[in-house]
Structure 1
């Protein structure tokens, strides 16, 4: 329960970070049968499907975004893309890494496929 509350707090903070960078938040915790995307955000003609990871260190948060976890995010983004990105808009996968006492790190376009 404590970990889930910390995760939700991290997601809200990540959404504010994106707003400060000029993004419009389209959805929080967007769900489909392939999985869940923490944040769907748009800036200009780009829709970003954003995974938020909070761990004790930024390095641990980055490690949590590899392999199976990234594959799940990509699958969910592909499934949800028609809902959030009409024809002609660019789609990308981003991550926001968070750790206590550290500035969040926004990684853009983390998947190339």
Structure 2
């Protein structure tokens, strides 16, 4: 797949993920936030929980199982650390989530995937 198509598919998956989270009661605070340390696809809040969400789009459920590795999670964690002062409130539970978008299936949201 060429770079332009991958970019388009990634943006589409992030839009689907944002709507999925909204349907589950989350408020989307930001999308595609870049820092010198990495990028966060979605910043979302529900009550006292602030989630930095990594979105992965894959063609199959099997491929999605391998889409998120420790290296990518470390970059998201570094970006989340840089962004937390901007979005967090006192007493918030801050976590890193993953949301997998697979064609023909409901999105799969995994909470608190980073314990670094």
TM-score (norm 2): 0.93
Gaps of 5+ in 1: none
User: 4+ residue stretches of structure 1 with deviation over 3 A?
Assistant: none
Q: Distance in 2 between matches of 1:104 and 1:59?
A: 14
1:76 alignment partner, one of 79, 98, 104: 79
Give the alignment's Cα RMSD to 1 decimal: 1.0
Indicate the residue corresponding to 1:51 in structure 2: 54
TM-superposed CA distance for 1:5, in Å, is 0.5
Gaps of 5+ in 2: none
TM-score (norm 1): 0.95
Q: Distance in 1 between matches of 2:64 and 2:33?
A: 21
TM-superposed CA distance for 1:10, in Å, is 0.4
2:22 alignment partner, one of 19, 22, 30: 19
